[in-house]
């Protein structure tokens, strides 16, 4: 049987800016740490406007400039069944967290919460960059890169301990 993985879903509104950035950044960090066989990563949006689309061109460019290739990602909408498949469902802001809390089945035993508190920042929400300028996409990356390190540390301290060393 395949090794069970810790499954992490990043969620924003459109799944073309913030959550694909978190998806790609965390995927790369997990691969660099040799942990890809233990952690499954995905992203989704609470909205349905961009289904099947690649990330926003500004998201792709900002990511590319820091060495992240996000071009393979495609937008999808969160589904109730995601609560059966993911251990961590991490929202980029409170509005999306509230929407997820409304979808959450009673039997869900995983972690549903905001992503940024895993990092050291006092900022708890990733601001929506969609209607703004290029600076917003840089800020998204700054916040997500720091929280990704915190999430990695959290997983090493707990859930990853069930797996054999290499970490």
- C-alpha separations of 51 from 16, 40, 73, 76, 163 in Å: 9, 21, 11, 5, 35
CB atoms within 10 A of CB 79: 11
Contact window for ligand 4NP (CB under 6 A) among 6-14, 76-84, 99-107, 148-156: 6-14
How many whole angstroms separate alpha carbon 152 and alpha carbon 159? Answer: 10
28 binds ligand 4NP (CB under 6 A): no
* Sheet strands side by side (includes 6-12): 39-45, 6-12, 88-91, 111-114
The span from the CA of 17 to the CA of 137, in Å, is 8
DSSP 16: S
Q: Taking the complex as a whole, how short is the minimal distance between the CB of residue 163 and ligand 4NP, in angstroms?
A: 31
16 binds ligand 4NP (CB under 6 A): yes
Query: Does the footprint of ligand 4NP cover residue 12 (CB under 6 A)?
Result: yes
Q: Does 128 bind ligand 4NP (CB under 6 A)?
A: yes
Under the binding rule (CB under 6 A), the answer on residue 125 touching ligand 4NP is: no
Question: Catalytic residue at 82?
Answer: no
Among 31, 49, 71, 79, binds ligand 4NP (CB under 6 A): 49
Residues identified as active-site:
12, 18, 128
> Which stretches of the chain bind ligand 4NP, using CB under 6 A?
12-18, 45, 49, 128, 130
């Amino acid at each position: 049987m395949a090794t069970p993985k810790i499954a992490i879903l990043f969620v924003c509104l459109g799944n073309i800016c913030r959550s694909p950035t978190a998806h790609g950044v965390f995927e790369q960090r997990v691969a660099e740490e040799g942990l890809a066989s233990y952690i499954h990563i995905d992203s989704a949006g609470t909205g349905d406007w961009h289904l099947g689309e690649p990330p926003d061109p500004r998201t792709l460019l900002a990511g590319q400039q820091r060495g992240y290739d996000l071009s393979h990602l495609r937008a999808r909408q969160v589904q109730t069944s995601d609560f059966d498949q993911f251990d961590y469902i991490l929202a980029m802001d409170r509005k999306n967290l509230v929407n997820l809390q409304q979808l959450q089945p009673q039997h869900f035993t995983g972690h549903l919460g905001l992503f940024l508190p895993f990092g050291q920042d006092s900022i708890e929400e990733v601001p929506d960059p969609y209607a703004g300028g290029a600076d917003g996409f840089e800020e998204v990356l700054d916040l997500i890169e720091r929280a990704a390190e915190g999430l990695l540390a959290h997983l090493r301290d707990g859930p990853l301990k069930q797996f054999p060393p290499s970490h």
